[in-house]
A and B are shown apart, each in its own frame.
Chain A
Amino acid sequence: MNILTCEGVSKIYGSGENQVTALTDINLAVERGEFVAIIGASGSGKSTLLHILGSVDKPTGGRVTIDGTDLETLSQTQAAVFRRRKVGLVYQFYNLIPTLTVRKNILMPLTLDKKKPEKEYFDKIVEALGISGKLDALPHQLSGGQQQRVAIARSLIYRPALLLADEPTGNLDQKNSREIMDMIKLSNRNLEQTILLITHDEKVALEADRIITIADGRIVGDEKRG
Chain B
Amino acid sequence: MWKEYTKGYLKNNRTAAVSMMTASFVSALLLSLLSATFYNLWKYEVERLTAKGDTYALQAMYLTRGANDTAPRLLFPLFLLIMGLASFSLVIIIHNVFAVSMNARIHQFGIFSSIGATPKQIRTCLFQEAVSVCAAPVLAGTLFGIAGAFGVTKWSNVIGAGIENRREEVFGYHPLILVVTLLITGVTIGASVWLPAWKLSRMTPLDAIKNAGDGQLKRRRHSYVLSLFFGVEGELAGNALKVQRKALRTASLSLFLSFMAFTLMQCFFSLSAISTRETYFEKYQDTWDIMVTVKDEEIGAFKETGQMRALPGAEDVAVYQKAAAKCRLSEEGLSEEMVANGGFSRASEKDVTREGESFLVNAPIVILDDESFLRYCEQIGIALRLDGAVILNRIRDVTNPDFRHPQYMPYLKESGETVLLGLAGTKNAGTVTAATEVGETKLAGAENVGMVNVGTEDIATEDGRTEKAGTKDVTVELPVLAYTQEVPRLREEYATLDYYELVHFLPFSLWKEYREQIAGTEEEDTYIRVLGREGVTVGELNDLQRQIEAVAANRYQIESENRIRSYEENDTKLQGMMAVFGGFCMLLAVIGISNMFTNTLGFVRLRKREIARYLSVGMKPEEIRKMFCIEAFVIAGKPVLFTLPVALLAVGAMLKACFMEPAEFLAEAPLRPIIVFMLAVWAAVGFSYYLGWKKIKEIRLAEVLRDDTMI
Contacts and interface: CB of A to CB of B under 8 A. Distances in A.
B611 to A, nearest CB: 11
B618 A109 contact: yes
Given A100-B239, A108-B232, A84 B618 contact: yes
Interface in A30-78: 47-48, 51, 56-57, 76-77
B618 A95 contact: no
B617 A108 contact: yes
Interface in A91-139: 91-93, 95-101, 104, 108-109, 111-112, 114, 136-139
Contacts of A77: 620-622
Contact of B242 (A95, A99, A137): A99
Given A138-B220, A140-B216, A91 B243 contact: no
B242 A56 contact: no
A210 B616 CA distance: 26
B618 A83 contact: yes
Interface residues of B, number: 35
A109 B221 CA distance: 20
B618 A85 contact: yes
B215, B622, B706 interface centre (most CB from chain A within 10 Å): B706
B240 interface: yes
A51 B703 CA distance: 10
B243 A81 contact: no
A83 B616 contact: yes
Residue of B215, B623, B702, B711 with highest tally of chain A CB at under 10 A? B702
A76 B711 contact: no
Contacts of B623: 80, 112
B613 interface: yes
B706 to A, nearest CB: 7
A215 to B, nearest CB: 19
A154 to B, nearest CB: 7
Interface string B543-558: 0000000000000000
A211 interface: no
Contacts of B240: 99
Interface in A2-56: 47-48, 51, 56
Contact of A80 (B215, B239, B613, B615): B615
B239 A154 contact: no
A108 B239 CA distance: 14
B705 interface: yes
A163 interface: no
B232 A96 contact: no
A205 to B, nearest CB: 21
Interface residues on A, range: 35 or more
Contacts of B616: 56, 83, 89, 91, 95
Given A56-B701, A99-B217, A109 B617 contact: yes
Interface in B441-476: none
B705 A56 contact: yes
Contact of B620 (A81, A96, A104): A81
B104 interface: no
A83 B702 contact: no
A93 B702 contact: no
Contact of A112 (B212, B612, B618, B705): B618
Give the secondary structure class of B's interface: helix
B387 to A, nearest CB: 91
A105 to B, nearest CB: 8
A138 B239 CA distance: 12
Interface in B208-229: 212, 215-217, 219-221
A10 to B, nearest CB: 15
A83 B615 CA distance: 9
Contacts of A81: 618, 620
A39 to B, nearest CB: 19
A111 B708 CA distance: 28
A98 B217 contact: yes
Contacts of B235: 100, 104
Given A56-B616, A76-B621, A84-B618, A111 B217 contact: no
Nearest to A82: B618
A154 B618 CA distance: 11
B63 interface: no
Contact of B216 (A76, A83, A136, A138): A138
B620 A80 contact: yes
B231 interface: yes
B236 A83 contact: no
A138 B221 CA distance: 10
Contacts of B219: 138
B577 interface: no
A9 to B, nearest CB: 14
Contact of A98 (B215, B617, B705, B711): B215
Contacts of A138: 216-217, 219-220
Given A93-B711, A111-B232, A56 B702 contact: yes
Nearest to A87: B618
Contacts of B232: 108, 111-112
A97 B614 contact: yes
Nearest to B231: A114
A97 B700 CA distance: 18
Contacts of B702: 48, 51, 56-57
A112 B711 contact: no
Interface in B147-198: none
Contacts of A91: 616, 705, 711
A224 to B, nearest CB: 29
B614 to A, nearest CB: 7
B619 interface: yes
A138 B212 CA distance: 14
B704 to A, nearest CB: 9
B220 A101 contact: yes
Q: Tell me which of A93, A97, A140 has the highest count of chain B C-beta atoms within 10 A of its own C-beta.
A: A97
B615 to A, nearest CB: 7
Nearest to B221: A99
Nearest to A86: B618
A114 B610 CA distance: 21
Contacts of A136: 220
Contacts of B700: 57
A154 B231 CA distance: 19
A135 to B, nearest CB: 11
Nearest to A92: B711
A47 B706 contact: yes
A47 B705 CA distance: 9
Contacts of A109: 617-618
Nearest to B703: A57
A138 B242 CA distance: 14
A87 to B, nearest CB: 8
Contacts of A47: 705-706
Nearest to A136: B220
Given A47-B706, A56-B702, A97 B620 contact: no
23 contacts: A56-B615, A56-B616, A56-B705, A57-B701, A57-B702, A80-B619, A82-B618, A84-B617, A84-B618, A95-B616, A95-B711, A97-B236, A97-B610, A97-B613, A97-B614, A98-B243, A99-B221, A99-B243, A109-B617, A112-B619, A138-B216, A138-B219, A140-B216
Interface of A: 47-48, 51, 56-57, 76-77, 80-85, 89, 91-93, 95-101, 104, 108-109, 111-112, 114, 136-140, 154, 166
Given A48-B702, A101-B220, 15 more contacts: A56-B702, A56-B705, A80-B623, A83-B616, A84-B617, A89-B616, A95-B613, A97-B236, A97-B614, A98-B216, A99-B243, A100-B236, A100-B239, A111-B231, A138-B219
8 A-B pairs with the lowest CB-CB distances in the bound complex, closest first: A84-B618, A99-B239, A57-B702, A83-B618, A93-B711, A80-B620, A98-B216, A51-B702
